[in-house]
């Protein structure tokens, strides 16, 4: 996670909720994160079936449960904002399901890399957006993205697998690139559809936003951290 | 959950851990509960796929995550007792998996009834055994069996389904009987295989146990509570 001073940081404040566009953007964001976690739960629980041992299965299942554990607080907040959480999630079901359909792991190791890299990418992206939010919403988003506590487990398993079978590294590196590509495709699709979210990043009358240069820096930070994660796994990015 | 005074209650104390047979029984019990929760996680996550709405899916997925959430503390305690948690679970994998194979729900409603009735049966049974344990182990077991917070949801959904389609009641009542029968079959199998656990109930040189009359009362309590749960769902038992 980057320190906050690295982010082009312009936090809103609670008064922002008077602005319907701001409120809509927050509802979108919490809805997207909620459905992302529900969907991550489903996929991780499914991938856990491919685990070679019960120990490994429990580790992946615990990541799944941790994802779902964040949803309750996000839904409470959506309800406080006067929105049905399930309505808030509706627009994000298709892009998130599409992401998963296009990145269905074909074996245990692809599942592990997806859990680690996918979770990291989503967290980085939402954290960047969180910098444009009021403090209470930002804290909520950051708590919801808390890491699922199994990163060491994934790194350990992938490094051991590559040591035992070096040819795996090439395939998994390609897989990491595919995950990144598909995530960008779906994020772009969401950006095109959800004006309020995009407007949040672009700023408003009384709220400075990202200019093109800042957007470029944000993108650079996200890809850089993706490369760091791949390196941690012993993979080229 | 019955009040403790209803149970033929003979709690052990920490000195009991000097007795290798007592320690073995506790390790067995914690291992069985742990694997039961891991396995419940898997099955509930799988059954959640049959949910008619995302709302329902999230409710069942939350039950799954709650089951898994209890495993960490049980495994810690097994480690404190000097046992690898995965070794402690090994003997219980086959009977528990057999239970699930023989009771695979064929639709969403059977899945809901299984979640509610199966969880309740397991909790009642382990709580009865917990009465024969030292206070620390008993508290741990009871915390691990805390209800997964979705009982109202299941009752509501099943009652609504029966109101909409009364013929469902007969099929689900039979299903509840099958769940009970299969649970007893597997419990009996475990009792035959695991001497330490059985000895715990039977008592020891310096520890009173269950006589046949007390065993009968325990069985009566468990079947009675099963009948209460079925009635809560609007089903005959």
The model's pLDDT over A64-82, given as tens digits with 9 standing for 90+, comes to: 998 898 899 999 999 999 9
Record the pTM: 0.81
| Interface touch B38/A46, C-beta < 8 Å | no
The lowest-confidence range among A46-60, A171-185, B16-30 is B16-30
Q: Kindly state whether A225 is in contact with chain B, defined as any CB-CB distance less than 8 angstroms.
A: no
Among candidates A49, A54, A65 on the partner chain, residue whose Cβ is nearest the Cβ of B65: A65
* Per-residue pLDDT at B176: 94
The model's pLDDT over B38-64, given as tens digits with 9 standing for 90+, comes to: 999 999 999 999 999 999 999 999 989
The answer on pLDDT for A55 being more than 70 is yes
* Per-residue pLDDT at A14: 57
* Per-residue pLDDT at B15: 62
**Residues 52 to 81 of A: which have CB under 8 A from any B CB?**
54-55, 57-58, 61-62, 64-65, 68-69, 71-72
Residues of A in contact with B54 (CB under 8 A): 38, 86, 89, 93
- pLDDT above 90 covers a percentage of chain A that reads 59
The answer on pLDDT for B28 being more than 90 is yes
| Interface touch B41/A57, C-beta < 8 Å | no
**Residues 89 to 108 of A: which have CB under 8 A from any B CB?**
89, 93
Q: Kindly report the nearest CA distance between residue B40 and chain A, in angstroms.
A: 11
3-state helix, strand, coil in chain B (%, to 5): 80, 0, 20
| Reported confidence tier of residue B2, pLDDT bands at 50, 70, 90 | very low
What is the ipTM metric for this complex?
A: 0.73
More confident residue, B233 or B129: B233
Q: Which residue of B has its CA nearest to A55?
A: B86
**Residue where the block lists tokens 């656990």:** B197
Half-sphere exposure (Cβ direction) of B82: Cα atoms closer than 13 Å: 4
CA distance B11 to B129: 10
Residues of A in contact with B58 (CB under 8 A): 38, 68, 71
> Within its chain, how far is the Cα of A144 from the centroid?
10
Mean per-residue pLDDT for B149-153?
Answer: 83
Burial class (CB in 10 A: 0-12, 13-18, 19+), A109: buried
* Per-residue pLDDT at A195: 83
Residues 6+ apart with CB under 8 A from A156: none
Q: Kindly state whether B50 is in contact with chain A, defined as any CB-CB distance less than 8 angstroms.
A: no
Among candidates B38, B55, B86 on the partner chain, residue whose Cβ is nearest the Cβ of A86: B55
The answer on pLDDT for B90 being more than 70 is yes
* Per-residue pLDDT at A32: 94
* Per-residue pLDDT at B14: 57
Half-sphere exposure (Cβ direction) of B73: Cα atoms closer than 13 Å: 14
Residues of B in contact with A86 (CB under 8 A): 54-55
The model's pLDDT over B212-230, given as tens digits with 9 standing for 90+, comes to: 777 788 888 999 999 999 9
Structure tokens at B172: 């689900």
- pLDDT above 90 covers a percentage of chain B that reads 59
CA distance B200 to B16: 11
Mean per-residue pLDDT for B185-211?
Answer: 77
Q: Among A117-121, B195-199, B200-204, which range has the highest average pLDDT?
A: A117-121
* Per-residue pLDDT at B208: 67
More confident residue, B188 or A59: A59
| Reported confidence tier of residue B5, pLDDT bands at 50, 70, 90 | very low
Q: Kindly state whether A84 is in contact with chain B, defined as any CB-CB distance less than 8 angstroms.
A: no
| Reported confidence tier of residue B146, pLDDT bands at 50, 70, 90 | confident
| Interface touch A38/B55, C-beta < 8 Å | no
* Per-residue pLDDT at B215: 77
| Interface touch B64/A69, C-beta < 8 Å | no
- Cα angle for residues B52, B55, B59 (degrees, 5° grid): 100
Q: Kindly state whether A195 is in contact with chain B, defined as any CB-CB distance less than 8 angstroms.
A: no
Mean per-residue pLDDT for A129-148?
Answer: 86
* Per-residue pLDDT at A207: 64
The answer on pLDDT for B171 being more than 90 is yes
Mean per-residue pLDDT for A119-139?
Answer: 89
More confident residue, A210 or A95: A95
Residues of B in contact with A89 (CB under 8 A): 54
The pLDDT mean for chain B works out to 87
Residue ranges of the alpha helices (H) in A165-211?
168-193, 195-202
For chains A and B, CB pairs below 8 A equal 61
Residues of A in contact with B46 (CB under 8 A): 45
More confident residue, A8 or A136: A136
- Cα angle for residues B111, A43, A192 (degrees, 5° grid): 120
The answer on pLDDT for B104 being more than 80 is yes
* Per-residue pLDDT at B98: 93
The pLDDT mean for chain A works out to 87
More confident residue, A211 or B194: B194
* Residue A230 CB neighbours (<10 A): 23
* Per-residue pLDDT at B198: 80
The lowest-confidence range among A87-96, B9-18, B162-171, B227-236 is B9-18
The lowest-confidence range among A224-233, B8-17, B187-196 is B8-17
The answer on pLDDT for B9 being more than 60 is no
* Per-residue pLDDT at A191: 81
Mean per-residue pLDDT for A116-124?
Answer: 91
* Per-residue pLDDT at A15: 63
Q: Which residue of B has its CA nearest to A45?
A: B45
> Within its chain, how far is the Cα of A179 from the centroid?
12
The model's pLDDT over A161-209, given as tens digits with 9 standing for 90+, comes to: 999 999 999 999 999 999 999 998 888 888 888 888 888 777 765 666 7
* Per-residue pLDDT at B218: 84
CA distance B66 to B69: 5
């Amino acid at each position: 996670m980057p320190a906050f001073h690295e982010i082009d940081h312009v936090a809103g404040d609670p008064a922002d909720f008077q602005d319907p566009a701001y409120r809509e953007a927050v509802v979108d964001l919490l809805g997207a994160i909620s459905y992302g976690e529900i969907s991550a739960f489903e996929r991780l629980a499914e991938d856990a079936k491919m685990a070679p041992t019960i120990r490994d299965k429990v580790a992946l299942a615990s990541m799944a449960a941790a994802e779902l554990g964040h949803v309750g607080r996000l839904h409470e907040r959506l309800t406080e904002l006067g929105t049905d959480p399930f309505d808030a999630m509706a627009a994000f079901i298709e892009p998130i399901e599409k992401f998963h359909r296009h990145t269905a792991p074909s074996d245990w190791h692809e599942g592990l890399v997806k859990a680690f890299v996918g979770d990291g990418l989503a967290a980085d992206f939402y954290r960047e957006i969180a910098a444009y939010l009021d403090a209470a919403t930002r804290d909520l988003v950051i708590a919801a993205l808390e890491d699922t506590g199994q990163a060491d487990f994934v790194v350990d398993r992938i490094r051991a697998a590559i040591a035992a079978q070096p040819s795996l590294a090439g395939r998994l590196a390609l897989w990491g690139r595919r995950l990144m590509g598909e995530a960008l495709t779906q994020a772009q699709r969401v950006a095109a559809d959800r004006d309020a979210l995009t407007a949040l990043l672009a700023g408003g009358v009384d709220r400075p936003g990202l200019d093109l240069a800042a957007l470029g820096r944000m993108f650079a930070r996200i890809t850089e951290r993706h490369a760091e994660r791949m390196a941690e796994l012993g993979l080229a990015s």
